[in-house]
Structure 1
Amino acid sequence: MKRREFLSMAAATGAVLSMPRAFSASVPTSGVVPQPYACATAAGHRGKLLILIELKGGNDGLNTVVPFADPAYYALRRHIAIPRDRAIALDERMALHPSLRPLLPLWRGGQLAVVQGVGCAQANPSHFRSMEIWDTGSRADVYRRDGWLARAFAQWRVPQVSALAATFGRVEAGPFAGLSFAHASRDSWAHVLNPDDARCFNRSNVNLADDDRVTGDAFDASIAPPTRPATFPDSIDAALRTARDSAQPGSYGAIRVTLDGFDTHANQPGRHAALLEELAQGCATLHAELARHGRWNDTLIITYSEFGRSARENMVRGTEHGGAAAHFMMGGRVRGGMYGQPPDLARLDGTGQLPVAIDFRRLYATVLGPFWALDARGILQDDVKPLPLLRA
């Protein structure tokens, strides 16, 4: 393979599209991806790390954070509601699904925030369009191709700042779409097959012909899929290794991991319980390992999904595409507690869905402003206020 073809498959911005260890047996060398500064040894203060957990398919917020004190919840969901005696009460009205028990230590430690009523005004019921809105961080009537994190990385185009980006569990660039080598530093790290075996190289030392220059469009090039799909624990493991390897003074990073399967149109209870258990175990693992390596206080974890589910169950013990839903934010700087408006099932919108109380972009504004100290308004191109849930 020519060097131009090799680099075109690999190109990413001041960051990388990384592959987990489980991919190593089947990813060809053409799937190599660059990652700046990941060979450096961490010392002293590390930069702020964002971990996005995508709940792909549309997570049912009502059965995730349960309004167990509301009789309307049980009236609307006679077959799929979480029994009151099994729900894990957080306060006098709201509770966690029993599968989320591994999150309790974070809640009790004041490092888990539950943000209720999150969504997009004028939400679109299409998975594709709704996720496009969330990935670009735009209003429903605005169409963009660049991801909100790509625009954030563009603000880090200065020599002294290194930035890491990685995604596990899904090959689409999503919020990273539009990253280009123009935002990268010259020092990069290549993931070749098994990341543990990769060797460092300096892009400035690679002799490129004039027609070998890499453009940002190459970031969206498809990468050969593995023969065996990575599991969510694989993705969590890969995210942790990437976070550890990339840590260095002044660095910043964003990692996305995807947990698929939340489009629960039928037979939801068992399937949803298993997915939430995977989510909770993954978050507990991230907390334990990042704390052990001294990175928890500089990490912010956020869950997100294209939409919630219908307030009323359907005829096959499932739910349809819905409106607002609860999401989690956790980390060492998070001021734990309940935020937003509890679901009011007596005041559904005209389509029978939960209305949006918190614009989803306020989650992003919290990352961009208080957490990363970037110009959130410039990146989101709207005056979106951050949520008051981070400690100084």
Structure 2
Amino acid sequence: MKRREFLTMAAAASASLSMPRVFAAPHASSGISTQLDASATGRAPGKLLILIELKGGNDGLNTVIPFADSTYYALREHIAIPRDRVLPLDERTALHPAMRALLPFWRDGQLAVVQGVGCAQDHVSHFRSTEIWDTASCADVYGRDGWLTRAVGQCAAMQRGVAAASFGSVEPGPFAGSADRVKAGGAWARVDDPDAAPHVEGIDADEGEGEGARVSGATRALKVSAPTLRDSIDAALRSIVDGTQAHTCGAIRLTLDGFDTHSNQPARHAALLEQLAEGCATLRAELTRRGRWRDTLIMTYSEFGRSARENIHRGTGHGGGAAHFVLGGQVRGGLYGRAPDLARLNSAGNLPVEIDFRQLYATALGPFLNLDANAVLQDDVPPLPLLRT
């Protein structure tokens, strides 16, 4: 794509969108984080919310492993992670060995593992489950607007600048409905080449065009197709972190696809989890270098977990509650929620949901972004105690 074409698309993208209990906690360390000197810009650094979608339904039991539970090994004779390979977090819970890059987060007290997260009423449909997570609705409510569309709308009403972007997926996801709320033009610009999207704001123009073109408006949004999670991260850093003023808030969705592991799960799942862990490590390193890690919150999400019992194809079916990760410079690290009880599966053979997924969103919206979480979620949803005050 030519630079001039991208400028045209980015200009069209410009719009003001009306868009438990801790079981164990590691020792916190303050050595990793640095905060941007507000005096350098005259304004405080903007918050960065980064969602990482584990598309397809991630297997929580092989991600956060109850390695002390013999039932786990009985249910998963061929795909269980051997005890001598896991990465223990405490005496009963461990990470998949491919996630070694997350151990520094755990040691520094910047990784919260939230167990049993999901929708109160399980749906086996990828489409419907994803729709529920994207709109932050109850299972019997069919919403249109994505929850981040509503959050960005609240920011716009408060005159807070926001740069919003989705990388690695052609679907708007939590930004659904944003196209219906713009005053003119489209809410999203489609950019297939991440290298063609260096900035959201202040894009360099072609040679001979002087100071270049400025994208106007309080909120900018684009979506970029990127072949790998690392490509998505690189594009997000260029466009949202480096391409906007430091005081601008950022709402970023990254998609890592391939988690629908009905067969031959072990090798596929390990490769995906390694990408996830190393991607998070890259984000922390790059955002720390830029002085933005203290004001960043990373959160994983997926439409559902997987079945507790393996199938005959050495994979898993669609399941219920699963563990998710929350990482950041303000995170109070530890294990949250109820550990999986494999003797208490529901009638479908899945782990029950213990924590409403919307509580993760409420935590990001309220304590982190200082927004009215109940107004965005259109319900009274309490946050989780995942952040340091």
Q: Report TM bin, short chain.
A: 0.7 to 0.9
| Equivalent residue, structure 2, for 1:155 | 154
On the 8 A contact 1:157/1:184 being kept in 2, the answer is: no
Quote the offset at 1:181 in angstroms: 8.8
| Equivalent residue, structure 2, for 1:99 | 98
Q: TM-score, normalised by structure 1?
A: 0.81
How far apart, CA to CA, are the structure 2 residues paired with 1:349 and 1:385?
25
Letter in 2 for 1:245: D
On the 8 A contact 2:9/2:190 being kept in 1, the answer is: no
How far apart, CA to CA, are the structure 2 residues paired with 1:341 and 1:12?
43
Q: 1:127 to 1:204 in 2, by over 3 A?
A: closer
Quote the offset at 1:203 in angstroms: 6.0
* 1:34-67 per-position Cα deviation (integer Å, ceiling 9, x unaligned): xxxxxxx966521111000000000000000000
* 1:365-391 per-position Cα deviation (integer Å, ceiling 9, x unaligned): 001100111111111111111000111
| Pairing partner for 2:294 from 286, 297, 301 | 297
| Further displaced range: 235-244 or 266-275 | 235-244
Q: RMSD between aligned alpha carbons?
A: 2.9
On the 8 A contact 1:13/1:179 being kept in 2, the answer is: no
* 1:304-338 per-position Cα deviation (integer Å, ceiling 9, x unaligned): 00000000000010000000000000000000000
| Equivalent residue, structure 1, for 2:13 | 11
Could you tell me the percent identity over the aligned residues? 64
* 2:282 paired with 1:285: yes
Query: Which structure 2 residues correspond to residues 1-392 of structure 1 after superposition, within 5 A?
Result: 10-11=12-13, 13-14=15-16, 45-158=44-157, 160-179=159-178, 194-196=196-198, 198-199=204-205, 200-202=212-214, 230-248=227-245, 250-392=247-389
Unaligned runs of 5+ in 1: 16-40, 206-215
Q: TM-score, normalised by structure 2?
A: 0.82
| Equivalent residue, structure 2, for 1:34 | none
Q: 1:367 to 1:317 in 2, by over 3 A?
A: same
How far apart, CA to CA, are the structure 1 residues paired with 2:214 and 2:180?
13
Q: 1:8 to 1:64 in 2, by over 3 A?
A: closer
Quote the offset at 1:184 in angstroms: 8.6
SS at structure 2 position matched to 1:155: helix
Q: 1:370 to 1:184 in 2, by over 3 A?
A: farther
Letter in 1 for 2:288: A
Q: 1:184 to 1:297 in 2, by over 3 A?
A: farther
On the 8 A contact 1:297/1:331 being kept in 2, the answer is: yes
On the 8 A contact 2:197/2:235 being kept in 1, the answer is: no
Quote the offset at 1:179 in angstroms: 2.1
Quote the offset at 1:253 in angstroms: 1.4
* 1:140-186 per-position Cα deviation (integer Å, ceiling 9, x unaligned): 1000110000001111124742101011100111101122596799x
Q: 1:375 to 1:246 in 2, by over 3 A?
A: farther
